[in-house]
Structure 1
Amino acid sequence: MARKNLLAHITATIGEDAERGANSDTEARASYTRRGASRSMIQSLDELAETSMRILDGDTVIALDPGELDGSFVADRIGDDDEAYSNLKEAIRQSGQSTPILVRPHPSDDGRYMIVFGHRRARVARELGVKVRAVVKPLADIEHVIAQGQENTARADLTFIEKAIFASKLLRSGLSKDVLKSALTVDDSLLSRMLSVADVVPDVVLDALGSAKGVGRDRWEELKKLVLNPAAVARARELVQDEMFISQTTDETRFQHLVVALKAAQKAGKRAKQKSAPAAWMPADQSVSVVARQKPNSLVMEFGNPKGKSFGKWLSGNMDSLFEQYSKANEEQETGD
């Protein structure tokens, strides 16, 4: 069956709302997608997920000027792998573009198109000064992100954090978690972990770590746990600007350097906290309790229990003789007598 017939059924379930959503501004589109996912559209998500990777089957491929194309309304990559991109560019230069990209008529700019997937192929065509082979589909936002997400999942070259950030962007755009699960082919548990990592790890740290190739979910979970308090967040911000971090040659070594440094800072903080723990004293009859708290420039002593107050007053009244004893003991210790 031609792909346009399959999509016609899905588009029909959306009806006039989809047409309005495709021509409205960003806020109206987000409102539409929330409504669509919560009513009839949710019934079509499974079908969309199953067919999205065959969306180009049987459709006419046309040549478009790369200058007429805009990127997807939600990015799915963090930068480009220079080596992989160079290989793709050389392959297209030598043999041409074998796989067309998917675009949709731009929802708010007549005469232009929005890329659903195939951003790198479009970039190569632009740099080579040639037209890009493309299939044009009139898709609503939900169809767009599911096709984009499914194509990325099938390629299996997006990293965990790229998928997590992609999911977070989709959620902020107003799409439901059901749509996110269909687009990324994940369950509730994995989606929750993705969103948690993307939300907890500071943006400046995410930017510094980039796509983090070779770093999987468990290690990102470990990093997330290391930046759960404000002090750790501040430390992480400092570390990613440090020369030692910047000088690392791969994504994986940068990530490992950051984790090791944060763990070291965490251990140092625990040791300092233990050293500054209050010292306590109490006689055998427990009639007095004394707690000494070390502060940066002073020592504070607190007296408790039945005789604590009177003992504190006695100490205050005998400071001269007590200090004399202290000075004598300190002098003997220094001279070794």
Structure 2
Amino acid sequence: MGRNIFNQPPKEDQAAAPSPAPSKPVKFGGSVGGLRDSLREITANSIRDIDPEFIDVDGLRDRLAVDDDGIEDLAESIRKHGQQVPIMVRPSELPERFRVVYGRRRLAAIRRVGGPVKAIVRTLDDDASLIAQGQENNLRLDPSFIEKALFIKEMQDADYKPAVIQDALGLTRQGVSNHRVVIEQLPEELIRLIGPAHGIGRRQWGDLAALSGKVSLLGIAQEALASLPPDTSSVDRFQAVYDACLRATKGSPNRTASGSKTILKDSTGSPLGTISSDPRSLAIKIDRKGNEEFSHWLEEHAEAQIQALFKQWQDESRRQA
């Protein structure tokens, strides 16, 4: 999981960490480049060895699962090569204790290995802590669409301001809205049954969400997944659930000859246009009436945007290969 090699962590009897000196709470901006610079500066000046028993794991979840196999693989790598990337913690309200900001998987792995954890100690307020957590994970872990959507829901439920949510994930207001529209239609238990499904994007999750008004997604998913091997990938689990739900609505896992149509809406719920698909083509139509300026902008930038989306799809496909 790590890429920058540090020295082998010292033995456990060297793990005691002094309380951090008071410092002003740090505010992270929305710039990813600025975050990289900030993290480099912090890393160079503030790495400490801390006993994991003094670190509390709390805060919002940014990943769907911390699987045992993945943690054991990471623990084995740390046994061989040492901890390669520090975690970040902030002082707790309790004396001599810390709260994890990011690096929950590394912390879990080091607890299996034993000994201290290398950690960046910073005094952060709740907003800055959340932004650091979200942006660091975006840089290193590339969360899937549905993981980001769940993280957004948790942040909204916790009453974080829209600007903080956008900065945490590097999204625009429209990007946050796109995630929220999908997550509001899907049972959380269904999502956790499927898993992160890296490579399954907004359109595919949106297609599944669109079936929620026609069939019981959770019941069908539980039945469909019960017959799959335990090690089935989350991408295949998604496809199995989608096919089963589609069969329940149309009698076949394939789209009918007439295809399907999805209404596009903006963040206020006003219609933008439609996405129509059939076995032969996919068409995006923007309603010029009421969206004249956007339609002109899209007409001018469509080629570049589609090329960027195609490259993103290629990158995600290679990561899944």
| TM-score, length basis structure 1 | 0.61
CA offsets 1:76-109 (integer angstroms, 9 cap, x no match):
1111255543432221110111211100012x43
Match of 1:116 among 89, 101, 106: 101
1:261 aligned residue: 244
Asked whether the equivalents of residues 30 and 170 of structure 2 are also in contact (C-alpha less than 8 Å), the reply is no
Question: In the alignment, does 2:222 pair up with 1:238?
Answer: no
CA offsets 1:184-212 (integer angstroms, 9 cap, x no match):
01112221111122221011211211222
Match of 2:202 among 198, 217, 231: 217
Q: Which letter does structure 2 place at the counterpart of 1:162?
A: E
Question: In the alignment, does 2:159 pair up with 1:174?
Answer: yes
1:266-305, aligned counterparts within 5 Å? 266-268=249-251
Larger radius of gyration: 1
1:80 aligned residue: 66
Tell me how far apart the structure 1 counterparts of residues 114 and 36 of structure 2 sit (CA, whole Å). Answer: 30
The 1:54–1:259 alpha-carbon spacing in structure 2 relative to 1, beyond 3 Å, is same
The Cα shift of 1:238 comes to 1.2
Asked whether the equivalents of residues 53 and 151 of structure 1 are also in contact (C-alpha less than 8 Å), the reply is no
**Identity over aligned pairs, percent:** 30
Asked whether the equivalents of residues 224 and 241 of structure 2 are also in contact (C-alpha less than 8 Å), the reply is no
Asked whether the equivalents of residues 64 and 134 of structure 1 are also in contact (C-alpha less than 8 Å), the reply is yes
Tell me how far apart the structure 2 counterparts of residues 97 and 244 of structure 1 sit (CA, whole Å). Answer: 37
Structure 1: which 5+ runs fail to align?
1-6, 12-43, 270-337
Question: In the alignment, does 2:35 pair up with 1:54?
Answer: no
Asked whether the equivalents of residues 52 and 150 of structure 1 are also in contact (C-alpha less than 8 Å), the reply is no
Tell me how far apart the structure 1 counterparts of residues 36 and 124 of structure 2 sit (CA, whole Å). Answer: 11
1:102 aligned residue: 88
2:146 aligned residue: 161
What CA RMSD, in Å, does the superposition of the two structures yield over aligned residues?
2.6
Match of 2:122 among 137, 144, 169: 137
CA offsets 1:139-168 (integer angstroms, 9 cap, x no match):
001100110111011014321111111111
Give secondary structure in 1 for the equivalent of 2:44.
coil
Q: Answer 1 or 2: which has greater helix percent.
A: 1
Tell me how far apart the structure 1 counterparts of residues 70 and 149 of structure 2 sit (CA, whole Å). Answer: 21
Tell me how far apart the structure 1 counterparts of residues 37 and 153 of structure 2 sit (CA, whole Å). Answer: 22
The 1:241–1:9 alpha-carbon spacing in structure 2 relative to 1, beyond 3 Å, is closer
Asked whether the equivalents of residues 53 and 147 of structure 1 are also in contact (C-alpha less than 8 Å), the reply is no
Asked whether the equivalents of residues 97 and 133 of structure 1 are also in contact (C-alpha less than 8 Å), the reply is yes
The 1:132–1:99 alpha-carbon spacing in structure 2 relative to 1, beyond 3 Å, is same
The Cα shift of 1:10 comes to 5.2
**How many residues matched?**
227
Structure 2: which 5+ runs fail to align?
1-22, 253-321
Match of 2:185 among 200, 216, 228: 200
The 1:181–1:198 alpha-carbon spacing in structure 2 relative to 1, beyond 3 Å, is same
Give secondary structure in 1 for the equivalent of 2:151.
helix
Tell me how far apart the structure 1 counterparts of residues 203 and 32 of structure 2 sit (CA, whole Å). Answer: 30
Q: Which letter does structure 1 place at the counterpart of 2:223?
A: D
2:313 aligned residue: none
Tell me how far apart the structure 1 counterparts of residues 204 and 182 of structure 2 sit (CA, whole Å). Answer: 11
Which consecutive aligned stretches of 4+ in structure 1 deviate over 3 angstroms post-superposition? 7-11, 44-49, 81-87, 243-246
Q: Which letter does structure 2 place at the counterpart of 1:71?
A: V
Tell me how far apart the structure 1 counterparts of residues 251 and 80 of structure 2 sit (CA, whole Å). Answer: 56
Give secondary structure in 1 for the equivalent of 2:164.
helix
| TM-score, length basis structure 2 | 0.64
2:110 aligned residue: 125
Asked whether the equivalents of residues 35 and 135 of structure 2 are also in contact (C-alpha less than 8 Å), the reply is no
CA offsets 1:14-62 (integer angstroms, 9 cap, x no match):
xxxxxxxxxxxxxxxxxxxxxxxxxxxxxx7446982366333332311
